[in-house]
Amino acid sequence: MPTLSDKAVRHWFITGASGGLGRHLTEHALQRGDRVTATVRRPAALQDLRETFGDRLTVETLDVTRSTDIDKVIAKTLRSAPVDIVVNNAGYAVVGAAEEMTVEQIRDQIEVLLLAPMLITRAFLQPMREQGGGRIIQISSMGGQIGTPTHSSYHAGKWGLEGFTESVSREVADFDIHLTLVEPGATRTGFASALRYTTESTPYRDNAVGRTRRYLETADESVFTGDPAKLAAAIHDTTRHPNPPLRLALGSDTYNAVHTALTERLTALETQKELAASVAFAH
């Protein structure tokens, strides 16, 4: 049986494809001759690609917070053709102190960033297992490895996605299903302009939360170094690799921030070695 990387035309399923990295991935895959089912909330956003690539692009309207709609769209997609590569890309961030966030804001963050990718991943495991393999790309973030003030719910979703993906990757390794967590840094995708904000409260106005909020409110994406077209090409390349990495750090800012965070955590862990051993039963 030919491997996924040997297939001339592969079928992608990409969520959140109306703009940003999702659109770049969709366009890149189509330009390489593949077929794409792209889910969006605004179907007209991909009209130009439909006109260029014809029936190799299928656009489905999907709100990933509606689990019944997820099931319907995936079932329809699989009836049309087997899916080789899934990209869980849909996402956004709420900015503000954890204390300022409403229950609805927290719940929506977790539904979009964690629950939806979990449900979509689960829905494709059986068909991929039965067809002999597949790839699932989870668009995480350097925020899946580090924590910054104002992004507590965002980090909860991304850190949760990382743990879920690492676990599932070990469950399905025998079936030639590979999962990869993509961890971009600051990328010029319009993400900053789409941020949603909590109602600011006085206690947090002048501390780290307020300073971060002010920076993001006035951020100029021209200082972001990540090129979404290059990210899309790098992600595409990993889907051709027979043994892709579990985590793919994209951006020097990601590399530097994650390297610092992991070093600090390892250093802190080393100081607890004797204490960790001290809680065992005495023999």
Residues 179, 132: contact at Cβ < 8 Å? no
Which one from 18, 140, 141, 152 is the annotated catalytic residue?
140
Structure tokens at 274: 């004797």
Answer yes or no: 158 catalytic.
yes
What does the alpha-carbon distance between residue 57 and residue 69 come to, in Å, rounded to a whole number?
20
What does the alpha-carbon distance between residue 184 and residue 248 come to, in Å, rounded to a whole number?
8
Amino acid making up residue 116: A
Which one from 141, 152, 153, 158 is the annotated catalytic residue?
158
Answer yes or no: 154 catalytic.
yes
Structure tokens at 152: 């507590």
By three-state DSSP, how is residue 177 classified? strand
Which one from 18, 141, 154, 204 is the annotated catalytic residue?
154
Buried b / exposed e across 123-139, counting CB within 10 Å, b at 16+? bbbeebeebebbbbbbb
Hey, what's the torsion of the CAs at 51, 54, 58, 61, to 10 degrees? 20
What does the alpha-carbon distance between residue 225 and residue 165 come to, in Å, rounded to a whole number?
27
Active site residues: 140, 154, 158
